Structure 1
Amino acid sequence: MTAIARFGAVSFDSSDPRLLGRFYRDLLEFDLRYESDHLVVLVGGGVTITVEHVADHRPPDWPGNDVPKQMHLDLLVDDLDSAEAAAIEHGAVRAEFQPVPDRWRVLIDPAGHPFCLALAPDTAG
């Protein structure tokens, strides 16, 4: 079987990406690759972490589940259309809301978790 995508990043939702990005940068000694009010990208140990701004972010209520845990996978692909079709064939569902469908696609896994298929940085133009 040929992989549909390559692991891209673990992405955390946050009302303050810079603050959470600094926390993980310092905790893990990762390199800061990009920082804005909307997105922070950290890289280290062969792993990429992104922290993405969510305006109405509510922290999870561990160990409860009234507000579930919040993170998603970014999976890198070379062709969004073919990767999306293959993921759907394997049981994913295309999310109704697509913020930037020419750069990434939001899909929902069979358990209801969102994940993104994203163009690899070298193909994202």
Structure 2
Amino acid sequence: MSVLKQLSTVVVNCADPAALAAFYHKATGWEIIHSDQDSVSLGSGPSIQLALVRVDGHEAPGWPDGTTYMHLDFTVSNLDAAAEELLNLGASRPGCQPGEGQWIVLTDPEGHPFCLTAAPAGD
């Protein structure tokens, strides 16, 4: 019997929740469902929410050799087109790109790494 039934929210520590939420809102199209001075939450229906929470003195994680405890993966229909659009929204593309082209690593405007993976054919 499992105690944990469903993952509901992924919380990302950051310096500026509103600015980071604006990036993820544009990138995902998810609606802002909560906002106050110290946190912003985005979501799309009953799916997992993304919460961005202010942490005083927050330092961006490093990639690839810094302290990165976790990252987000997003499925996209076209890796190169999605990467280009996200770069135009303020993401960065670090030089380290493991995976031999199976995915693309980007960082959000605060330096959190996230990956783009290709959707299976037909999706």
Matched positions, count:
70
- SS of the aligned residue for 1:32 comes to strand
CA distance, structure 2, for counterparts of residue 69 and residue 56 of structure 1: 16
CA separation of 1:18 and 1:59: change in aligned 2, threshold 3 A: same
Structure with higher strand content:
1
Runs of 4+ in structure 1 over 6 Å off: none
CA separation of 1:11 and 1:23: change in aligned 2, threshold 3 A: same
CA separation of 1:17 and 1:8: change in aligned 2, threshold 3 A: same
CA distance, structure 2, for counterparts of residue 64 and residue 70 of structure 1: 11
Q: CA deviation at 1:4?
A: 3.1
The CA RMSD over aligned residues, in Å, is: 2.0
User: Is the Cα contact below 8 Å between 1:21 and 1:42 reproduced in 2?
Assistant: yes
Where does residue 16 of structure 1 map in the other structure?
16
CA separation of 1:21 and 1:9: change in aligned 2, threshold 3 A: same
- SS of the aligned residue for 2:7 comes to strand
Give ranges in structure 1 of 5+ residues lacking alignment.
73-125
- SS of the aligned residue for 2:8 comes to strand
Give ranges in structure 2 of 5+ residues lacking alignment.
72-123
Correspondences of 1:1-125 after superposition (within 5 Å): 1-44=1-44, 46-65=47-66, 68-69=67-68
CA separation of 1:71 and 1:57: change in aligned 2, threshold 3 A: farther
